[in-house]
Amino acid sequence: MPGSAPPAGRQSVDDVALWYHTLELPGGVVTPGWFDLRGVVRRLPWPEVRGKRCLDVGTYDGFYAFELERRGAREVVATDIARHEDWDLPAPGRSQAEAALRQLAGEKGLGFEVAREVLGSRVEKRILSVYDLSPDRVGTFDVVVCGNLMLHLRDPVRALEAIRSVCTGRFMSIEEVSLGLSIALRKRAVAELRLDPRLGQWWVPNAAGHARVVAVAGFEVIEQMGPFSEPFGAGHPPRGRGAGPLALRLARQLLAGGDGVPHAALLARPVI
Ligand SMILES: C[S@@+](CC[C@H](N)C(=O)[O-])C[C@H]1O[C@@H](n2cnc3c(N)ncnc32)[C@H](O)[C@@H]1O
Q: Among candidates 73, 69, 266, 75, which has minimal Cα distance to 171?
A: 266
Which band of pLDDT confidence, cut at 50, 70 and 90, is reported for residue 71?
A: very high
Atom of ligand 1 nearest to the CA of 86: 16
Q: What is the mean pLDDT of residues 124-141?
A: 98
Distance from C-alpha of 40 to C-alpha of 47, rounded to nearest angstrom = 15
Q: pLDDT band at 241, cuts 50/70/90?
A: confident
Residue whose CA is closest, atom 14 of ligand 1?
Answer: 58
In degrees, to the nearest 5, what angle opens at C-alpha 196 toward C-alphas 179 and 45?
40
Assigned domain for 5 exists: no
Residues 94-114: tens digit of each pLDDT: 999 999 999 999 999 999 999
User: Closest Cα to atom 8, ligand 1: which residue?
Assistant: 147
Global confidence as pTM: 0.94
As for how many domains the chain has, the answer is 1
Q: Residue 123 CA to chain centroid, in angstroms?
A: 17
Q: With contact defined as beta carbons under 8 Å apart, do 251 and 179 qualify?
A: yes
6 located within any domain? no
With the most atoms of ligand 1 within 8 angstroms of its CB, the residue from 152, 160, 261 to mutate is 152
Question: Looking at ligand 1, which residue's alpha carbon is closest to its atom 1?
Answer: 148
Task: Give the CATH number of the domain where residue 221 resides.
Answer: 3.40.50.150
Q: Which amino acid is at 220?
A: E
Q: Which structural domain range is residue 188 located in?
A: 13-270
